[in-house]
């Protein structure tokens, strides 16, 4: 049993995690955040386009004694975003936290990129956060008197390296975060952003990654190791907790120091 200082204001609260599923039993950023929040006593709605993936996250949470439900939804669809928020409030009675965790990658310059792909990346990586936040924020104000939001960006927003459309979308996430923080501070809502580095997650290794490539990614860090979904999940939990009660509009880089070193063009997006 955790005391009030240990749960840091997370116990009894309700979180909506978009992109909270992952392949198999792999630990992606969203799944890690959902599990860690549930361990602190937060009730979690795990949303994913594929219901089975979200359901597996719920099973993992329930197995540890936590409370969670799964829901399917395409967060690039405004109706689905509203439905996810409605489901969360109807089931749990309130909504305190949002982890905007959905994203896709892309490679190439503005010359090489297809306009259709550019629009799709911006839709998934930026518009999804805009749409979900549009319905989450009023629900937070009405049911909880405020709350906290974390948007997931990338170090590619800070150090472009041949992934122009992806970098642009993730830079937009930072701008959206800072603007939302200004707009909704008066509503007692904090909004922050995480920029992960080279995390070894199901989204990355599902595409296939050699041990040599993993080693290169690890060497890019000043700590000489790669990150995992747990590293991002812990950062999400911190920013949603009362430990971060006076932090808003900020960008937390979780990259093992990768951005402290000279950039190298790589084939895998972060």
Q: Where are the beta strands (DSSP E) in the chain?
A: 14-18, 43-48, 68-72, 97-100, 147-152, 189-196, 199-200, 227-228, 251-254
Which residues are CB-contacts of 142 (< 8 A; sequence separation ≥ 6)?
none
The CA–CA distances, whole Å, from 256 to 13, 95, 169, 228 equal: 30, 32, 22, 11
41: left (phi over 0), alpha (psi -120 to 50) or beta: left
Asked if 246 is an active-site residue, the reply is no
- The residues that bridge with 188 in the sheet, in sequence order, are none
Catalytic residue (one of 135, 166, 200, 246)? 166
3-state secondary structure of 106: coil
CA 49, CA 173: separation in Å to the nearest integer?
Answer: 20
Which residues are CB-contacts of 135 (< 8 A; sequence separation ≥ 6)?
81, 82, 84, 85
Residue 22 carries which DSSP code?
-
For residue 98 the two structure tokens come to 């949002």
For residue 212 the two structure tokens come to 């040599």
Residues forming the active site:
166
């Amino acid at each position: 049993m955790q005391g009030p200082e240990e749960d840091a204001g997370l116990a009894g609260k309700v979180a909506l995690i978009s992109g909270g599923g992952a392949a198999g039993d792999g630990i992606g950023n969203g799944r890690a955040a959902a599990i860690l929040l549930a361990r602190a006593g937060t009730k979690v709605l795990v949303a994913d386009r594929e219901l089975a993936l979200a359901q597996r996250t719920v099973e993992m949470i329930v197995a540890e004694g936590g409370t969670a439900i799964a829901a399917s939804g395409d967060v690039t669809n405004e109706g689905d975003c509203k439905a996810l928020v409605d489901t969360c409030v109807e089931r749990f009675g309130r909504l305190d936290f949002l982890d905007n965790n959905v994203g896709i990658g892309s490679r190439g310059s503005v010359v090489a990129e297809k306009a259709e792909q550019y629009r799709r990346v911006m839709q998934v990586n930026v518009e999804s956060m805009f749409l979900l936040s549009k319905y989450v924020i009023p629900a937070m104000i009405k049911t909880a008197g405020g709350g906290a939001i974390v948007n997931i960006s990338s170090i590619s927003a800070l150090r472009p390296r041949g992934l122009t459309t992806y970098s642009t979308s993730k830079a937009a996430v930072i701008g959206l975060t800072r603007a939302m923080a200004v707009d909704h501070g008066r509503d007692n809502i904090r909004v922050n952003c995480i920029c992960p580095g080279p995390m070894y997650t199901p989204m990355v290794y599902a595409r296939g990654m050699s041990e040599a490539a993993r080693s290169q990614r690890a060497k890019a860090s000043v700590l000489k190791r790669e990150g995992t979904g747990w590293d991002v999940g812990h950062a999400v939990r911190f920013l949603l907790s009362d430990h971060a009660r006076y932090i808003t509009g900020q960008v937390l880089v979780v990259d093992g120091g990768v951005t402290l070193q000279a950039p190298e063009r790589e084939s895998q997006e972060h």
